[in-house]
Amino acid sequence: MMKTITAKDGHSLNCWFEQAKGDRIGGIVILQEIFGVTDQLKGIAAKYADLGYEVAIPALFDRKAPGTVIPFDEAPRARDMMLSCDLEQTVSDIDAAVTSLAQNGGKVAVIGFCWGGGLALRATQSLDVAAGVSFYGTRLTQYLDRPLGKPFLGHFGLGDDHVPVEMVEEAQAAFPEMEVHMYDAGHAFANELRPSYVPAAAEIAHARTAEFLATHLR
């Protein structure tokens, strides 16, 4: 369900919450692509809730245009919205979601997709989370200015024109402790509603993520 949470600077934002099924293991904050809190992401949240995690998806566009969800075929508009967001404020909004989950007990991790995949790296560096996961995280070189310091898992496509292999290699050089897996796929290979979806790669990436979370959130 959608609830309102509040960042430390007083900004209120929407956040989708998916309750854990069965015994609650911990929390996961899912960080959006450039399209907002989509139904596709809510479906991902439900899958991880089935594994025992309480999941939150903060609406990171709410500072600019509350409630904005952009269709997948309007990427230029979505990109412009993303570029208008302030990084510090966005991380503060992510922190509000982390704090909300932490209040219910257990460790918290972040999982990000596309724009959110890069933000997951920054959140892992700077927030009180136990671990982070990036699915084809963009803008990686923006986040190489401070230590990682916590477990981090990255999934990237060998044919991703948004995140070329050279960018992934640069991130690996900066953070040798980061676990990276490459897939025979392009960008957004784990989004089943986009033409770039590669089922086999998505299935393996989510299985590896589930194993990673089970190790670091228990």
pLDDT of residue 164: 97
Return the SS3 of 89: helix
**Count of beta carbons in the 10 Å neighbourhood of residue 120:** 30
Collect all residues with Cβ–Cβ distance below 8 Å to 203 and sequence separation of at least 6: none
Q: Residue 187: pLDDT above 90?
A: yes
pLDDT of residue 218: 85
Residue among 85, 144, 149, 147 nearest 118 (CA): 144
Q: Cα separation of 152 and 180, whole Å?
A: 9
Average pLDDT of the segment spanning 119-124: 98
Average pLDDT of the segment spanning 147-159: 97
Q: Cα separation of 11 and 128, whole Å?
A: 20
Mean pLDDT of the chain: 97
Average pLDDT of the segment spanning 75-93: 97
Q: Cα separation of 85 and 100, whole Å?
A: 22
Average pLDDT of the segment spanning 52-66: 97
Q: Residue 107: pLDDT above 90?
A: yes
Q: How confident is the model at residue 147 (pLDDT cuts 50, 70, 90)?
A: very high
Q: Cα separation of 146 and 163, whole Å?
A: 20
**Could you name the CATH architecture of 2-216?**
3-Layer(aba) Sandwich (3.40)
Average pLDDT of the segment spanning 17-30: 97
CB-based burial label for 13 (10 Å; 0-12, 13-18, 19+): buried
Average pLDDT of the segment spanning 23-49: 98
Average pLDDT of the segment spanning 63-70: 97
